Amino acid sequence: MSSELQETSERSEVVLGIDVGGTGARAAIEPLAGAFGTSRDVVSGPAVKITAGGSTAPAVMAALIAQARDELEEHRPGARIAAVAIGATGIASLVTNPAASLAALSAAAGGAPVALAIDAVTAHLGALGGEAGAVVAVGTGTIALGTDLHGVWRRVGGWGHLYDDRGSGAWIGIEGLKAAIQHHDGIRADASALLSAAESRFGAAPTWPAQLYTRDDRGSVLAGFAADVAGLAALDDPAAARIMTDAGALVAQTLAAALDPALPRRAAGVGGVFAAGGAFTAAFTSEFARLAPDASLTVGAATPLDGAVRLARLLAAGQVPTGHPPFLWR
């Protein structure tokens, strides 16, 4: 191939990074020859649902790849996908055999190599850029990962909103509903604003069980109410502020637990809940400083979608030689 043809071929190659979460999914298309984070196109997809058959993540991933290819055909005709990397919530816990999806996903991407990871891996790559340390990702759920991306892999949390995901969007929504129903029942008298917000979102309190217990996107719905709780906390509602303060402290505890002794004392927090700021972020930074006073901490430096693009670039460059189940498959 002549140098001119090779250059043209390289310009037409793109990488595809996909972030699949409990409140939505996104795919970023980025030219392989360009600098990281430049000329990026993003398409959106649905949130993951949890049914009796498990997670819908594989179907969401395949649909996003198809959307991305349609986007390429329209805006970058002739472009070829050089690599695909996906970070997905619940992929290790709620999908029976994640590796079984790889061949179909590769075929959907025109034969491109595919790396599939739990969302904590792509959050880590986004926040620390490949450096060793610990990262906590807080969205619908909460999961932390301490790793050097080679020999150390320490997961904390991410086990779902029924008994874990402490401090997450779903956890905040649940705590807000707990306070609201207790006010409704006369058990407490300080959560009238939370009750009003819950009734505005879900209707009369007696209808909540039928609405929430029967849904396969319950985590996402609960996380949606977290925005109302955070909004009330920003208005100095005491009950809501306590929930956000508790959430921040719990997330800090999860992150501190992921700081494996074999890793540098470097940590980061990412995810949509950090946008709440206020009581949540203040409690998070304060509690983390108490638990890990010798560790550095950054918040909101990058997103899991950035991490998925970074992983796709590494894969295209041949720098992801093997997988590390149950964290990374390729």
What are the structural domains of the chain? 3-129+303-329 (3.30.420.40), 169-299 (3.30.420.40)
Packing angle between helix 238-257 and helix 218-234, nearest 10 degrees?
A: 120
Min mean pLDDT across 6-15, 71-80, 236-245 is at 6-15
pLDDT at 23: 82
Is the whole model's pTM more than 0.85, yes or no?
yes
Cα-based torsion angle of the residue sequence 226, 228, 234, 236 in order, rounded to the nearest 10 degrees: -110
**In this structure, are strands 50-51 and 54-55 parallel, antiparallel, or unpaired?**
antiparallel
Tell me the helices (H) and strands (E) count for the chain, helix number first. Answer: 12, 13
As given in the structure block, the two tokens for residue 212 are 């929430």
Mean pLDDT for all residues in the chain: 92
Each residue of 219-239: pLDDT tens digit? 999 999 999 999 999 999 999
Most distant pair of Cα atoms in the chain: their distance: 79
* pLDDT tens track for 232-269: 999 999 999 999 999 999 999 999 999 999 999 999 99
